[in-house]
Structure 1
């Protein structure tokens, strides 16, 4: 096969972009919900922002678990789609949905038992604790609805139909903004609910998304009612095999979410202004960073489909070189977004105190450097997971998170009492630690063999 024919047989940059832009738009809108809610709540003052950040830390832990298992299901579905096996597609969809629903219900039960005590232990004042509890109690409906919506979205992503999950957010976000704005401030005859109003808006938008995606799933697949059997013979065996594949992926994401939330709880020990700055910047990091994440995820979907179709040689090399250049461009776009944000802080958060806005601007050097390292690490992670090398990817993330980030955040905040600027810089150093481990593994190429035969 000539170099020209290889290039023509692999997904082009335009095809990756067609996969990536809906993923990026969807992820930006997902995290944009938090940014919008935080902006709407910011008019109530730093204490309300802190209350929302504290409650969102607990709720985000549960959503992170759902995202982790949905990401694993997405890879399985992409491999099944590449092989053209409808039984495998049906298995990935229904087992992924079952795992998400069980995870959501267990998480809601734990929050019902322990949530109030956790929030009260970390809140600066009883009023912040009360606002956080009111937000969290409503947010549990978001968790339940997202258990369904995230799984269905991953199904469409794995099949290459990434626009449908993006469309679901285009429908849901205006509903979220309108309902949240009305209920937070009591406009248009609605009750004034404060911080809890933002959670109600998010719950209604999540329900809308789940219904939209569920209707399209039934319309396009018929619920696979005419497909008999399961991928590994029985439902139990298929569930076991899915969990064996998914647990390292889920473990990585769950570890990341747990670490993020532990760090947020430690951040809560900073001054209210410094904590508010950390609460406000984190959603922006996730929103802008989704340019790189979406490109990496689209690359992973394409790699999984190529491996499922038996393409693991020169054509895969050509594809990855092309995809890595796209990742570099995405990183530059992310850095530009961060620059625009820091130049606009005074206009966006005019109602907040001077110390809070100054802390946000001080994050700029880290925000400009971080996308290049993180973007390349993201590409490595999704490539390894697409090839079934899930355990190594998990180990790199888990070890750097628990052996570096958590101890250093505790040291910087609880013992050295450093500013938010220094604390925020730790995410840059964490990405630098991951860089050589990820890139060496990708170059070794064991992941090209694909997942083990089942």
Structure 2
């Protein structure tokens, strides 16, 4: 019992800042949506398309950083500061190179990509203006995500939380004035929201670097790296690639969903654009608990403390279910006040929001159960198995079904959106079976295979 209480206490201390970090990050997109909504449906749709593209890249960056976080967590568990240092710089090199690659591709192909999504000339122009600024965020985000992974791995999850706490209000205030103008300045419209976000992430990066410099327990100096760093980067990439591929696949799938939804009528698409940030924000407490569980399991593997893994997994699942119920209640309350939060929309948009309300209220119940299983399995080295479940549920079953509903049968927003909770239902039993089997079979030999540095 004492072991269980200690596990829960430790995970909660890690989870609540992680949850608030993610919540504040998602809130920045909601702030942009709220600020842009008076500009009309074209501006909102442009924001939705552009942020979908940027979110796709940032999803890959977060996936890479999550893999780095597991590597650093094991090094922390082993009390190996040299491995922590190598893991940090290897993760930074990989993440930034990937960010630079996507930055270049979007700079070259932005018009072609946007034109493939819509033939509305006004929407294309507005989206291009926003994206031309927002794309620079991905370079800064690559650096911040790896720094955040470091702080999370060493258990200092409050530091990234403070960074987001600074960034969010700054983003809101700066974006407002850049959108609508002040003192004779007319403002940039929807592009002002991108400029505000770019300015705010610069401030957050400066804050995180400053915290790293002040922390006596963090030493990530490049001066301590040697010729072995090249092979370390290669090993690090091999370690995090399966994790990144798995999470990236889900991010790509989410992007495909959003692009399919853009083929609905504009009111339906705006309704989904409005709700997506809320859905992500409302399920972040579940994800944060899953992340904290993975960090704790990785640290235990690094320190070779493999006792009571089955009990820890059961506690993680029970807590995730409880948090999922709370999330569903939050969405129920949100559905009752959505018209008060967004008072300037078309009546057809309000109708679309009401139609999908039962679906986004139910979604956290099944998504939370799968999320905690997926993160626990990744920490135990079962990333390939998790990939297979996610790939089958999303790409073999759900995305083709969603495409058929929208593009072939011209289905309503209800049936199109219903595919998302259906996907989670498809994956529930396989995840449960895999988790039970992995914990039962996990031993010291399997733990040693996960340690390469």
Which residue is 1:149 aligned to? 144
**Matches of residues 56-205 of structure 1 in structure 2 within 5 Å?**
56-205=51-200
- Is 1:430 the counterpart of 2:423 in the alignment? yes
Among 394, 398, 410, the residue aligned to 2:387: 394
Q: Where does structure 2 lack aligned partners over 5 or more consecutive residues? A: none
Which residue is 1:354 aligned to? 347
Which residue is 2:299 aligned to? 305
Deviation at 1:453, TM superposition (A): 4.3
Deviation at 1:367, TM superposition (A): 2.2
- Is 1:206 the counterpart of 2:201 in the alignment? yes
Which residue is 1:243 aligned to? 237
Q: Where does structure 1 lack aligned partners over 5 or more consecutive residues? A: none
Tell me, yes or no, if the aligned pair for 2:89 and 2:220 is still in contact at 8 Å: no
Deviations 1:190-229 (A, max 9, x none): 4411110110111011111111111112222564339845
Q: Distance in 2 between matches of 1:187 and 1:298?
A: 43
Deviation at 1:47, TM superposition (A): 1.1
Which residue is 2:18 aligned to? 23
Among 19, 35, 41, the residue aligned to 2:36: 41
Q: Distance in 1 between matches of 2:359 and 2:80?
A: 45
**Matches of residues 241-390 of structure 1 in structure 2 within 5 Å?**
241-314=235-308, 316-390=309-383
Tell me, yes or no, if the aligned pair for 1:384 and 1:442 is still in contact at 8 Å: yes
Check 1:405–1:188 CA distance in 2 against 1; reply closer, same or farther (3 A cut): farther
Deviations 1:261-300 (A, max 9, x none): 2222222111110111111111111000101101111111
Q: Distance in 2 between matches of 1:81 and 1:452?
A: 14
Check 1:369–1:226 CA distance in 2 against 1; reply closer, same or farther (3 A cut): closer
Check 1:281–1:299 CA distance in 2 against 1; reply closer, same or farther (3 A cut): same
Equivalent residues, number: 446
**Matches of residues 406-421 of structure 1 in structure 2 within 5 Å?**
406-421=399-414
Check 1:311–1:47 CA distance in 2 against 1; reply closer, same or farther (3 A cut): same
Q: Distance in 2 between matches of 1:296 and 1:256?
A: 16
Deviations 1:332-380 (A, max 9, x none): 1110111111101110111001111121122222223221211111111
Q: Distance in 1 between matches of 2:354 and 2:333?
A: 11
Tell me, yes or no, if the aligned pair for 1:78 and 1:304 is still in contact at 8 Å: yes
Tell me, yes or no, if the aligned pair for 2:180 and 2:188 is still in contact at 8 Å: yes
Q: Distance in 2 between matches of 1:75 and 1:188?
A: 49
Deviation at 1:5, TM superposition (A): 5.5
Tell me, yes or no, if the aligned pair for 1:54 and 1:123 is still in contact at 8 Å: no
Tell me, yes or no, if the aligned pair for 2:324 and 2:365 is still in contact at 8 Å: yes
